[in-house]
């Protein structure tokens, strides 16, 4: 009994020590509270499959009372947010190709005649098929239109849903481009977030103090090898995506690599900034997860970006993953040129500059 009591006493002392150590480790304690709080907020508030206000455009070539009523019915559903009006099918497809709209409404000039023919579609919905959730919402929307006209009930117009960029509705076509961003975020941020911390824990910073190496030079030396590693990972994912799932690359391959290089640089900058805050490698991994989870959940990779509250969308704009998803899907699936997506390119450059500058300013070449 005495031996058991002594064992319990020793275990109790160690448990007390662990709690005191956690209490002193404010960053770890913040992660214990912060990660479940973030998950609860994201899944309960930000993640929403009942998508509303999808950016839409309309080309009403008929411009009759019935066609205008149809367009109004679609707008009043609150599923579509009509922000663009064009005068041709080509212009509507151009908006879809550039990513400015998610759904296009095309009403042909012979709309009234088509209404009399039950075998022909009278309206087309052009849907961005890079997100399967959007396609499903557009399909359900066509069945929910009211049946009315000025004199009473009428047959609802027959609407044809055209799936752009993924006509076969294959899931890998949608997921593989986004997985490039997820994998690069995981590896690039993880590698660099522990870079400076590892030097400090191993005592290597003591040697760096005695050298003429400056802070910015150390940061550059840390990230350059990972730029090459990141591009190798991109090549591997593209090759496996084509070999296993026949994922197409509609746009230019050089644009894919340039977009990936921008994203890698932005991710490395974020990782270096984390490494200047974390005191241990464990803390660095925790902070990396704090960045990785929102990058997966609110960037538009898993859940529709348009279905999130506006505040969450603003927060997502600060994530490199959000802009990379727009770039990589635009290039690989829609064939968009990198030069046609200046907003996303500029955002990645800005994030890279801000995080890298902050990391350099916070870094001090010292042991403590």
Does residue 152 surpass a pLDDT of 70? no
Overall residue count recorded for the chain in this entry:
368
- 8 Å CB contact between 173 and 219: no
Q: Indicate the helix (H) or strand (E) that contains 127.
A: strand 123-128
Q: What is the pLDDT of residue 18?
A: 65
Report, as an integer, the average pLDDT of 207-228. Answer: 74
Q: What is the pLDDT of residue 215?
A: 65
Q: What is the pLDDT of residue 367?
A: 45
For the chain, list the domains and their CATH numbers.
54-164 (3.40.1710.10), 171-362 (no CATH)
Nearest to 316 by CA among 332, 290, 295: 295
pLDDT over 90, % of the chain:
35
| Three-class DSSP category at 73 | helix
Q: Indicate the helix (H) or strand (E) that contains 132.
A: helix 132-143
Reported confidence tier of residue 185, pLDDT bands at 50, 70, 90: very high
Q: What is the pLDDT of residue 145?
A: 67
* CA distance to 63, 324, 330, 333, per residue, from 251 (Å): 35, 15, 8, 7
Report, as an integer, the average pLDDT of 22-48. Answer: 69
Lowest-pLDDT choice from 127-141, 151-165, 281-295: 151-165
**DSSP symbol at 329:** H
* CA distance to 140, 283, 291, per residue, from 323 (Å): 29, 27, 15
Structure tokens at 143: 């069945």
| Three-class DSSP category at 263 | helix
- 8 Å CB contact between 173 and 166: yes
Nearest to 267 by CA among 296, 226, 302, 305: 226
Residue 146 CA to residue 77 CA, distance in Å, equals 10
Does residue 148 surpass a pLDDT of 60? no
Report, as an integer, the average pLDDT of 103-121. Answer: 87
Higher per-residue pLDDT: 4 or 63: 63
Mean pLDDT of the chain: 83
Q: What is the pLDDT of residue 59?
A: 94
207-214 contacts, C-beta under 8 A, 24 or more apart: 208/365, 209/365, 209/366, 209/367, 213/365, 214/365
């Amino acid at each position: 009994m005495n031996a058991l009591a002594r064992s319990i006493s020793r275990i109790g002392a160690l448990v007390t020590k662990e709690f005191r150590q956690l209490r002193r480790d404010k960053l770890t304690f913040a992660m214990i509270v912060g990660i479940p709080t973030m998950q609860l907020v994201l899944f309960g508030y930000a993640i929403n499959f009942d998508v509303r206000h999808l950016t839409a455009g309309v080309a009403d070539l008929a411009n009759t009372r019935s066609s205008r009523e149809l367009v109004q019915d679609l707008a009043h559903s609150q599923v579509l947010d009509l922000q663009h009006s064009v005068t041709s099918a080509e212009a509507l497809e151009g908006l879809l190709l550039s990513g400015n709209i998610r759904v296009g409404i095309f009403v042909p000039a012979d709309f009234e005649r088509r209404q009399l023919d039950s075998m022909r579609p009278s309206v087309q919905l052009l849907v961005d098929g890079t997100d399967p959730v959007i396609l499903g919402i557009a399909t359900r929307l066509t069945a929910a239109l009211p049946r009315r006209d000025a004199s009473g009930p009428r047959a609802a117009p027959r609407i044809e849903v055209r799936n752009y960029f993924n006509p076969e509705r294959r899931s890998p076509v949608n997921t593989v481009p986004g997985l490039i961003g997820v994998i690069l975020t995981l590896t690039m941020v993880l590698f660099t977030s522990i870079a400076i911390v590892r030097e400090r824990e191993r005592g290597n910073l003591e040697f760096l103090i005695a050298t003429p190496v400056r802070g910015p030079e150390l940061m550059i030396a840390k990230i350059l090898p990972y730029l090459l590693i990141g591009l190798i990972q991109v090549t591997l994912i593209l090759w496996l995506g084509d070999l296993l799932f026949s994922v197409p690359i509609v746009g230019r391959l050089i644009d894919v690599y340039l977009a990936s290089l921008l994203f890698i640089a932005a991710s490395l900058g974020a990782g270096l900034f984390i490494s200047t805050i974390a005191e241990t490698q464990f803390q660095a991994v925790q902070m990396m997860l704090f960045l990785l989870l929102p990058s997966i959940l609110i960037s538009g990779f898993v859940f529709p970006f348009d279905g999130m509250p506006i505040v969450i969308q603003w927060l997502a704009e600060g994530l490199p993953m959000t802009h990379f998803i727009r770039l990589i899907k635009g290039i690989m699936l829609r064939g968009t040129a990198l030069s046609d997506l200046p907003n996303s390119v500029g955002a990645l450059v800005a994030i890279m500059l801000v995080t890298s500058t902050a990391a350099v300013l916070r870094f001090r070449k010292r042991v403590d």
